[in-house]
Amino acid sequence: MRLPTSTVSRALTRLEKHLGVLLVQRSPRGLVLTDSGKDYLQSCRRALQNLRHGRDLLEDRRSRPSGLIKVACPVTMARDTLAPLLNEFLERYPDLRLEIEPYAASWDQEPRDDVDVFFKLRAPKDSLRRVRPYPGRRSTRV
């Protein structure tokens, strides 16, 4: 790791103090792991392996998303904007399912909790919701 020996030694001493156990035997010839040190090292290796496995699972999910996405939007947006994009989108992400719930644009509908993406022409009444302007549209402050 290209760290000074003194830095590693201080960190090891702090770890031993924190754990309340001697991890290495120090001698003029170097360091030797104690039984507790060997057990701790094996446990840490397993933990790191689990973390790598978790990272790999998330990366796989990020590269190949799956599941259901519920979208609510005005009927005209579903027809004119989303429909032309659907074939390419679903070819690119074959494990995704898309459920589009169109509504009349004149109807002042509020987002439901079971909807993942909600397109609204007016600012929501609930100021806790995250609002982002649709690309290509003028943004309004909420």
Range of the domain at 25: 5-62
Same-domain status, 128 and 92 = yes
Q: What is the pLDDT of residues 9-25, one digit of tens each?
A: 999 999 999 999 999 99
Domain count, the chain: 2
Q: Which helix or strand (DSSP H or E) is residue 8 part of?
A: helix 5-19
Rg (CA), the chain: 28
Q: Which residue has the tokens 């010839």?
A: 29
Contact between 65 and 111 (Cβ < 8 Å) = no
Q: What is the pLDDT of residues 75-130, one digit of tens each?
A: 888 999 999 999 999 999 999 999 999 888 666 667 778 899 888 766 666 666 66
- Classified as helix, coil or strand, 117 is strand
Q: How many CB atoms lie within 10 A of CB 56?
A: 10
pTM exceeds cut of 0.75: no
Read off the CATH number of the domain in which 70 is found.
3.40.190.10
DSSP string spanning 50-84? HHHHHHHHHHHHHHS--EEEEEEEEHHHIIIIIHH
